[in-house]
Structure 1
Amino acid sequence: MPDPIFPGKPGLYASMLVYALRNTPDFAVEHSRFYRSFRDFYGEVTGRRILDFGCGKTFWLSLLLASDGADAIGADTEVTQIARSWSKYRQLLGSNGLERTLRTAAWDLAFANRYYRHLEREFGKPLRFDKLQLAHIVNNKLPLQDRSLDVIISHEVLEHVDDLEAAFAEMRRTLKPDGIAYLYVHHFTSLSGGHHIAWKHPDTAPSRKVAPWDQLRARRHTEIPSWLNRARAADYRRLLEREFRIQEWHWLPKEGEALLTPDIRAELADYSEQELLHKGFIVIARPLSGAEP
């Protein structure tokens, strides 16, 4: 584990279920660590209007920001609500389909309470659900006014966005002129970038069933939990620079270096070793002014 238990989508979801049962506390540790790294960079968030772009059904980043004093908003293309109600699941079914509704309901009922307990423990102070604001992204539009945000932050979201150009344009529109975007991308070309659960831990638990970089090679295991746009680092840079001045670009640590054999390296000659070995990158950028090209 986390190799698939049996083939196809049923096997994928069975693996995900077992993995979540075993590792929910680890999610809280990973999420808290990311939040601390953002706070180390940005500093005090109290009173700052901050958007968590792609907050997801757990809205963990929005929740940590709100609990830390920020005027935090979580926005997603999925219908996201704190309450667990038939109304929520009916809206999800109509907007996001049956599969997404079942996944969210399973999370809410089986994992959420345990996860939030661990997240609060890692955070070190109470989680303020009452301070959290959630919004729905429809037709690639953020339901926010122009130049109303101090920060936009996202965590492993942009690789799932079908129209990156529209997303970056909306970020620029809603950020204040002195605002910043803090964007963490899980790079598609990395060993774990195909988002197959079998490669959740490439160095400590390499897959015995799914070949390394399968998403770039034979693509025999295409059953994954969410859609990916397959964008590469150069694509992100090109589209970002239409709307932002990139101030920092940090590649995340390497993974799976021992698995990049000479044969695989030759097969993937179109990709740089940086693309193949780094899990992803964090980009820090500021919106272009109206006068800038």
Structure 2
Amino acid sequence: MGTRELDANLQAPVVGIRTSPRPAAAVAEFFDSCAESYEDWAAGLRPRVATRLLELVKPEPGAICLDVGCGTGLVAKPLGKLVAPEGHVIGIDISAGMLELARAGAPGNLNYQRLSAEPDLCFRDASFDLVTFGDSLAYLRDPYRSLSEARRVLRPIGRIGISVHRRSLDTLAQQVFFGVLDEFAGEQPIALRQPRNQRSLLGEVGVLKGMLEDVGFTDMTETTFVTGGRVRSAAEWLHMMAGAGPRPYALLHSLGLNFRRRILNAVESEMRRLGEDAFHYHLAYTVVAATGARR
């Protein structure tokens, strides 16, 4: 499939990504609730993705950096050490729970602020040498606008680094589970009911590179980080999947014991049908680094 054809096929889903509401309060609640276990989720996958992101962007000593959606500091903390002693890092997030953990043990050249990245970043033009989105871009309402804002606050040849979940590498067990979840969600009058695939394209090969090129970046490098495993039961499966994002978390934790019991039974039944494929998961991330073209 050529680039032009791929772009055409993405047009409708990208519009969906830009216009589908994702209430900030729901996102903040999810991250507040999972802050303590965030770094340990899926056998410590998230710290490894953060390390790969920093390897790709190659931060230089003395750089002034912004980490958007910094969470517990998985990117910001090591970044602070890499750019020390003259460099500085600002980490922003809307989750008070995540920021509380991030501030523990942070290096002196790292400053955390409870700020939203939307609709615009509250920083002056050309303020930073590096902007990172460590698994945060997919939680923002308008990814194109967020990338444009990153370009605005970067210096002329500043760098950007992004990691995004690549959902097309999900296993059959994951696909079956989210199908079950969507079916049960249809019964519920809750806010987070949009189909999962509306935001599933950001991590696909070439998508972020195309978006970055559109907003003025060049010299792009893209890689995929993949891990996987298997859990032993439907209960363990629901526990792991509840940490995958605000929507499964809300559905699995906010709708009462009867709902959880019903979906547990449904998952057990579907997994029995899968045989050897049951309870097997892949977690893949696309990681991209790019440089701002001269204005």
Q: Name which of 225, 246, 251 aligns with 1:252.
A: 225
Q: Does 1:63 align with 2:77?
A: yes
Task: Report the TM-score when normalising by structure 2.
Answer: 0.53
Secondary structure class of the residue paired with 1:144: coil
Q: Name which of 230, 238, 241 aligns with 2:213.
A: 241
Does the CA-based 8 Å contact 1:62-1:132 persist in structure 2?
no
Q: Name which of 203, 211, 227 aligns with 2:176.
A: 211
Q: 1:277 to 1:166 in 2, by over 3 A?
A: same
| Distance across 1 between alignment mates of 2:192 and 2:103 | 22
Corresponding residue pairs, total: 202
Q: 1:254 to 1:168 in 2, by over 3 A?
A: same
| Distance across 2 between alignment mates of 1:224 and 1:190 | 27
Does the CA-based 8 Å contact 1:152-1:181 persist in structure 2?
yes
Query: How do residues 40-189 of structure 1 correspond to structure 2 at under 5 angstroms?
Result: 40-43=55-58, 45-56=60-71, 58-68=72-82, 69=84, 70-76=87-93, 78=94, 104=97, 127-128=106-107, 131-134=110-113, 136-137=115-116, 139-189=118-168
Secondary structure class of the residue paired with 2:199: coil
Give 1:255 deviation, angstroms.
Answer: 4.9
Task: Report the TM-score when normalising by structure 1.
Answer: 0.53
| Distance across 1 between alignment mates of 2:38 and 2:119 | 31
In structure 2, stretches of 5+ residues that fail to align are: 1-28, 231-280
Give 1:130 deviation, angstroms.
Answer: 7.1
Give 1:185 deviation, angstroms.
Answer: 0.6
The corresponding residue for 1:230 is 199
Q: Name which of 277, 282, 285 aligns with 2:287.
A: 282
RMSD across aligned C-alpha pairs, in angstroms? Answer: 4.3
Q: 1:172 to 1:238 in 2, by over 3 A?
A: same
Give 1:241 deviation, angstroms.
Answer: 1.9
Give 1:171 deviation, angstroms.
Answer: 0.9
Identity %: 18
Does the CA-based 8 Å contact 2:49-2:285 persist in structure 1?
no
Give 1:219 deviation, angstroms.
Answer: 2.1
Does the CA-based 8 Å contact 2:118-2:146 persist in structure 1?
no
Give 1:279 deviation, angstroms.
Answer: 1.9
Q: What letter matches 2:214 in structure 1? A: R
Give 1:282 deviation, angstroms.
Answer: 0.8
| Distance across 2 between alignment mates of 1:133 and 1:226 | 32
Give 1:72 deviation, angstroms.
Answer: 0.4
Cα deviation code 1:179-210 (max 9, x no counterpart) = 1111101134442xxxxxxxxxx79xx67xx8
| Greater relative CO (CA pairs within 8 A, separation 6+) | 2
Secondary structure class of the residue paired with 2:214: coil
Cα deviation code 1:18-44 (max 9, x no counterpart) = x887x5673595454344434444446
Q: What letter matches 1:65 in structure 2? A: L
| Distance across 2 between alignment mates of 1:166 and 1:42 | 21
Secondary structure class of the residue paired with 1:154: strand
